[in-house]
Structure 1
Amino acid sequence: MGFRKLGLVKTITVDIRSLRRCGVQTFDFLFVLDFESTCWAAFDVNKGLPEIIEFSVVLYDISDDKIIEEFQQYVMPVENPKLSEFCKDFTGITQQQVENAVPLGTCLMVFGKWVNEQKKKYNLNFLHISKEPAKKQVVFATWSNWDLNTCLNSECKRKRLNKSEIFNAWIDLKFLYKEHYHRKPVGLKGALTEVGLNFNGREHSGLHDARNTAALAGKMIIDGVLLQITKDISCNH
């Protein structure tokens, strides 16, 4: 008679999704960030340097696989205050929205206050700044290096704005995606499609892109991707 018939074997159902989330990831939460900026058509001779016009971040809980907080702020461009028709069509952001918005410096202060509220509420710590093992570890995550390196870093330097050290290290999910799946996706929407997910909302809306990037991060974790910092520019400051 087998052990199962004797009642000596207990069947345990294991949730693979939960199992893969527990105890293997360095980070507990992600600040998933996406910017929209001023932009121009390829043939436009009046192109300028990109200025952030939408600053959106979602706080993603890795263990629960869900977004728990959101931040969105429209930003007023000052170098090129009038949006191109291409930019308005591409991002869905109107001229009135940016004219009623705040300058980048103010946005950074408002966002810093919001981040501090989340740190206190969820007991968060940026690992690249200080090592506090009793706290939950958080880091920024983006789709490519463009947002935090090319865009924010360059704009803050041009405008002589103080930029918090929290922005100096991040996870480039696009890089990890290519490393893990061994393929180059066609944009965020293409990456989602390739792993069996749908893009929800409007493409090139910063908040919608951030939400979808968080969803992609969750799927990548399920598929065995270890989230790790891929870019750290702390030494450049």
Structure 2
Amino acid sequence: MALTRVSLSSSTRLLPSPLLQFFLRPFSSATSPLGSSRRRSSPIAAAFSQASQSPHAVRHGQVTEAPMPKSRRPWRPTCLYYTQGKCTMMNDAMHLDKFSHNLMMDLPVNASAADKVKPQKLDYLLILDLEGKVEILEFPVVMIDAQSMEFIDSFHRFVRPTAMNEQRITEYIEGKYGKFGVDRVWNDTAILFKEVLQEFEDWIGNHNLWKKEQQGSLKSAAFVTCGNWDLKTKVPEQCKVSNIKLPNYFMEWINLKDIYLNFYCRRVT
């Protein structure tokens, strides 16, 4: 089954569903993020249990492989300063032992699942799951190899609201992230949405998925969302609040709920 993209002009608004959880908790392949009790091979599902060499690395002439531990070490929370590119404790052994700084090791691919993945016309999937109802507070993207379902890279930024006053921001962040103990990290690292997009464009440009001078769509890649809310509703709203023209690469995406409906012939419950 081929993945079908929807465009900003043709999609229907749906409520969002959490998709990216491994920044705060371990990834589990035991249950589907869509809540399905049936198991069938699909182009967007893979079991994550052991490390394998990245086809991305092979294509770029890299032959080194991440070391495979003899026994899987207990899950550790990801250092959120590291995901923001602002960790200053990379030489601190206690910090490195307490927090994970290697998402590839946290999300290895089971090589035995590769034969269940259907060939795709795309090379990469950019899994996007925004956070924030009033304004975007968090912009996380995970880059997956569309042929092997292997984790390639991630982009994660906390976003500082543009239109809210400081008191409202403080209340909002404490309510949203305080219970997870993430409010301090957010306050230390959050940047404006305009800056987030600039850094994101550098990121997709470095992966040769987009060229700034062409200002076009993504090359050999597509966003994947759980519902249409993220890219049909929230990003255009945030661009308007931030006084930014909506980039062309946000104009189309793959809706997991549509894939689920087409594959199982029933809607997500």
For the residue of structure 2 that corresponds to 1:51, the secondary structure is: coil
For the residue of structure 1 that corresponds to 2:129, the secondary structure is: strand
Q: Tell me the residue number matched to 2:144.
A: 60
Paired amino acid for 2:115: S
Displacement, 1:185?
A: 2.8
Residue segments in structure 1 that go unaligned for 5+ positions in a row: 1-14, 40-49, 187-237
Residue segments in structure 2 that go unaligned for 5+ positions in a row: 1-111
Q: Tell me the residue number matched to 1:106.
A: 195
Q: Is the 8 A contact 2:161 2:192 kept in 1?
A: yes
Q: Tell me the residue number matched to 1:155.
A: 238
Normalised to the residue count of structure 2, the TM-score between the two structures is 0.49
Displacement, 1:116?
A: 0.1
Equivalent-residue separation in structure 2 for 1:92 and 1:182 (angstroms): 40
CA pair 162-125 structure 1, distance change in 2 beyond 3 A: closer
CA pair 17-87 structure 1, distance change in 2 beyond 3 A: same
Equivalent-residue separation in structure 2 for 1:20 and 1:34 (angstroms): 23
Report how many aligned residue pairs link the two structures.
149
Q: Which has the larger radius of gyration?
A: 1
Normalised to the residue count of structure 1, the TM-score between the two structures is 0.54
1:48-197 matched pairs, under 5 angstroms: 50-80=134-164, 81-84=169-172, 85-88=174-177, 93-94=182-183, 97-98=186-187, 100-119=189-208, 124=209, 129=216, 137-186=220-269
Paired amino acid for 1:104: F
CA pair 110-16 structure 1, distance change in 2 beyond 3 A: closer
CA pair 19-87 structure 1, distance change in 2 beyond 3 A: closer
Paired amino acid for 2:238: E
Q: Does 1:28 align with 2:123?
A: yes
Q: Which has the higher strand share?
A: 1
CA pair 96-27 structure 1, distance change in 2 beyond 3 A: closer
Seq. identity, %: 29
Equivalent-residue separation in structure 1 for 2:170 and 2:261 (angstroms): 37
Q: Which has the higher helix share?
A: 1
